[in-house]
Amino acid sequence: METCFERVNPLSKTRMILLFLHYFLGYQFVYPMLLTSFTLWLDPVARVVPDWLQFLLYCYMIGAAVWLAFPLLKESVQGWKKNRMHMIKLCLFLFGAYYISSIIINLIILLFSQSETSANQLEVMKEISVSPYLTMFSTLIYAPIVEELVFRGVFYRALRPRLSCLSSALISAFLFGFVHVFFSLLTGNFNDLIYLLSYGLIGFYLAVAYEKSETIFGSMIFHFINNAIAFLMIVL
């Protein structure tokens, strides 16, 4: 039976490029600068961007990403209708496998790392203490939607027709992991490089969830489950 990965990619090159720019250039660099400028325009002595502006940015990010990836989402709806129960069971099974794998990876990191957690994770913990509801929205809604559309919907889907599932998953997992340690490397914190293993591991399982479920909603649900458990572990 033909899988979605053997068919023509529903996303045009233009949509994929725009999604790439929207996330990597926009969210990582341009949008934060615009938010800072707008905040200072509203209040010249402000020290932080207000939560409501951050929330509007997340909503814009989600809306724009969904619009750009609409053909892919339309295709994924068919996969969701066809095997939704299989997809949910698959996500739960993969999460169990991921949890066991993560224990091994974390033990390796503990042996070689000089820090107990990544700078990205520390930043999330800080944000939870300052803006718990905004962080919950970005962690449970924004990240599973936007990051899956970019890393699995664009990168994995573009690689898959040319490469095997394993090769495509490993490359997209590396990119996913690299983004999560990128700013640490920019500041000279090369100790965080080892956390490519942990972030790359979840990226790998997210790609497998997409492959086996044949719908981007599979990786979104997996992403949500992982983030929800991580969020609860920090809060409780």
Task: List pLDDT tens digits, range 73-127.
Answer: 999 998 787 778 888 888 889 989 999 999 999 888 888 876 778 888 888 888 9
CA gap 9, 11 in Å, rounded: 5
Share the mean pLDDT of the chain.
Answer: 91
CA angle 100, 161, 21 (to 5 degrees): 80
Give the E-state strand segments of 61-176 in sequence order: none
Structure tokens belonging to residue 194: 């080892």
Query: What was the pLDDT predicted at 188?
Result: 80
Neighbouring CB atoms inside 10 A of 181's CB total 23
Cα maximum dimension of the chain: 62
Greater confidence, 3 or 225? Answer: 225
Which range has the worst mean pLDDT, 82-86, 108-112, 133-137, 205-209? 82-86
Query: What was the pLDDT predicted at 1?
Result: 57
Residue 59 has pLDDT above 70, yes or no: yes
CA gap 209, 226 in Å, rounded: 13
* Domain count for the chain: 1
Q: In terms of residue numbers, what domain contains 159?
A: 4-235
CA gap 172, 155 in Å, rounded: 6
Q: Give the type of residue at 135.
A: T
Q: Answer yes or no: pTM beyond 0.85.
A: yes
CA gap 142, 125 in Å, rounded: 17
Q: Which of 21, 24, 28, 15 is nearest to 158 (CA)?
A: 15
Q: Which of 15, 24, 21 is nearest to 66 (CA)?
A: 15
